[in-house]
Structure 1
Amino acid sequence: MNKATAVTLTVVLGLVAISVPIAIAIHLAWKQAFNQEMELASSIAQDILRRNHASLDQVRAVFHELAAAQASDPCSDENRRLMAKLDLGSEHVQAIGYIKDNVLRCSSFGRHKTVVSAPAYETSYGAEIRLALEFPLLPGKKFLVVTDKATGYTAAVHPNLPIDVFAEDPDISVGLFSVPSGRLILGRGNFQQQWMGHLGDAEQAQFSDTQSLVAIQRSSRYAFAAFASVPTAKVYQGLVQAALVLVPIGVAAGVALGFAVRYLAMQQLALPAMLKVALRRHEFFLNYQPIVDLQTGKWVGAEALIRWRRPNGELVRPDLFIAVAEEAGLIQRVTQRVMTILGSEAGELFERYPDFHIAVNLSAADLESQATIEGLRCLARETAARHGNLLIEATERGLMRAEVVKEILGEIRSMGVQTAIDDFGTGYSSLSYLESFEFDYLKIDKSFVDTLGKDAATSQVVPHIIEMAKSLKLEMIAEGVETEAQAQFLRERGVQFAQGWLFAKPMSFEQLIAGLSASGASQECALQNGGMRGDAPEVARA
């Protein structure tokens, strides 16, 4: 055996010796990654099934109460008031009405004569299903509409709520299909009808094809099944990560270095990476939008709004970077930055104006973290805040994990920090949120205030919200007030506070202090913040 042959054989044997354990490890890594992704798909399908059980259970409970009322006229004033009460008390039901002969006769909003489409199909338990129907008085939104065939009572369910899981990952497909008809009821992403054949008579099925790992879960109470589909590409991602660990040190170092350079280059171009850099470089600042007393015009508080100015002077829109921060897991760092800036700027504010308050927005992640409690304690110490000087705002979407959030909100309120539910009515709104959590304020969203005085279907929403807040003894803050007519409408109906461009645009802390100083903390509504009417409104951190 010559030297060249020996070298060749040695290299081959060496490659085989390296390749065999790597191949075994890759096989095991593949199996582990496959099982993990399949378990993920299965857990998502079970969650969708649970959500849909909750939705239909509430629908059937609504039908039961309406039938039990035994109204001789389903559209009588008394029966429509019952519809409105049941609507507000249901987390999943968005609207309730009465349909006869494919005509919507009435709802909690009033009487109608609106022709609707024929049912897509009927269930075995006597319900008529209409898919993606635009419910009158809620224009631009499609609903899953369920009608009790025996009574004609009808409930509209928001189509996103039952499948609002892993919405941040567009590659994961989810949905619900009718078992008898094989028809898709609700869905997001890819759905292949042949998947249903794998379920047969079983309660669940798990399988894979060339593109997807699929889990199906049959309902034990209703004639539908939930599905979730995860791309097989995610299995390959897990496999690659495992394989890189097992290659020889030299090759691994070279590959890892190449991937690291590529990863870092991509990260530097990505907004999450820019956010991280911006947090380190303190590129964020705060603007403050005053909140006024509608009766006196005094500035009683302000909402702290996070803003981002890049080194080149470019302003990044809050609605863009806040969403990215939430997706990238950076939102708590952004909130902490808000508290840090506020603590440094407002050190003597409450000493000079003890009846003034500053509102801070909290995300869903903030409302589920004990770190938020400590952050607010530090902020209270730095600003010498007393009871009512600090206020936190939470959106409906941030309240989904009720038990965790309730504990955090309880601790926040025990510190003397007041709480407000923000953008009420724009998410999966329901009276149950207000009954489950203790709030001091309810903020009426700008989208509803905009409809006041206009011939819009949603113009009647604000009076309903006002009456509901009064019944729960909540003070109200109307957002986005831009005309005196809107302010007068709100004032006459007992709304206590408002913010918007009619009164002042977001401003720096120095401008806020100047405005308070000029008026002795009793700024009149007529005082405008120079040139506000011609500029485009800034977007608040929601």
Structure 2
Amino acid sequence: MPLLKRKRDYARLVIIISGVLPLIIGIFFTALDARHTVRQQQVSAANTLLSQAERMSDSAWNMITELRQFQHQSCSQIENQLQRIGSLNPYFRAVGKMEENRIACSSAYGTKPGSLSDMIMRDAPVTGKAWWSLSIAGTAGVPDRPAVIFMRDLPDGEGFWAVIDGQYLIDFMRAISSTHLYHFSMEFNNGAPISFGDPQIALSGWFQPLIYQASSSRYPLSVTLIASPSELISAWRQVMLIIMPVAIIFSILLMMLMANWLQRRISWRDEIRRAIASGQFRAHYQPVYDNRQQRCSGAEALLRWTTPDGNGIRPDIFIGAAEAEGMIVPLTRHLLDLIAEDVQAWQVEPGFHLAINVAADHLQHPDFVDDMLHFADRVKDKQFLITLELTERSLIKDGVEVARKLEQLRGCGMKVAIDDFGTGHCSLSYLQTFTMDYLKIDRGFINAIESLEGRTPVLDAIIQLSHELELEVLGEGVESALQFSYLQRRGVVFIQGYYYARPMDNAALITWLARQGEQPVKANHASETHQTVSL
């Protein structure tokens, strides 16, 4: 009970974890998706702002190109035209002309001379270029509003400049931020930032803000966009409304499946024990055909489990569970008991092969030899040729001890067969290490007879190897006349499969042996044979 209770407690924990895990994964991926969504919105907003700034820069440089028509003209000649140009074109706060590194005239101040540093309220940058632009905190005329100056120096000491009002960019930032809580900051040539939004958004909330920076490929301007953590939370909430209901449904389904699987898994040991006690297991037998004697020369015992409600449990399921739960030895001993009871009613000749599958755990068990000798003693009046069928996995552990056990049983008249030959990784080494009598070719190689257009080099090699080692060969899983004839022509003595006979219970086997056991098989009479095996 304490062990079973621990298993049930473990099962509850696994079920809870299986239910919580999809929710955690859902939350994690919704967070990633929300972050991706906010990032895409930032990219779109930053690219839109950069495009607008590039268009304004294009206008500024086009304006300077237009102003070059006033080269070598005095300010008194161009004053009115400068004022007209400055007032009629959007974006511009002022345009003007430079002479000898001083402002000679402008649309805003007329012909009053002044220095460039006074107008932009800072020293002019040293760029070493005739073309340059710079974002500034303000101008002498409008000191509290940012702007961008564009300058073209000419070789003769003259130059032209244009100042774009930063308010246009700020208004554009405001329009973009109407649906999002962003903080924008734009710089031309690492100048003063042109900003919009609350810079404190980067400090609000438990989440880190998303910061995105982008630069123009055409001009020396960059933009930094900070998204408030509330933007991420809002996007996360929207995604969760879509994803989390699906995650919850999946979580519930996974918990149900896990609970069902664990219930079956944990209760296998008790279920098998109860099934043995209540007689739910039955031995079935699949006849084996002898090509030399042209009749049935043996049968393989197979265990079947039918529950009280009439449903059958697949052998690969309950045998695997029995191995995992430590019940395979009691289950095999129960099979031996069933066989010993069934064969009392058999009418077979001495030397009839009786094949029994041996599990790896039973083979390693200290009582294995005694179990098999006790079984042989119970059926000795039938003079069976008992064959122990072992898989390659059975021979992996304690090879020397296993070999000793098998030799002891062989000395008592039993035979040893290696089952499903060729499906493991060490078959050839086993043939050298252990003394074998029979080799059963796996059905996968038999099926290749029809799937490889008549070319089966691996199968042919196995058969030839068996002949060289003087081992009797049994082909299992034979299902067609073509497979039967192919094996028969290559000297395979024993044939087992649906083509000859299906597994059947004890009563059906007794009837079948009386009617069909002595009948030879003709490969060209497939339909007739299938009718006989259905009995």
TM range (shorter): 0.3 to 0.5
Q: TM-score, normalised by structure 1?
A: 0.47
Q: TM-score, normalised by structure 2?
A: 0.47
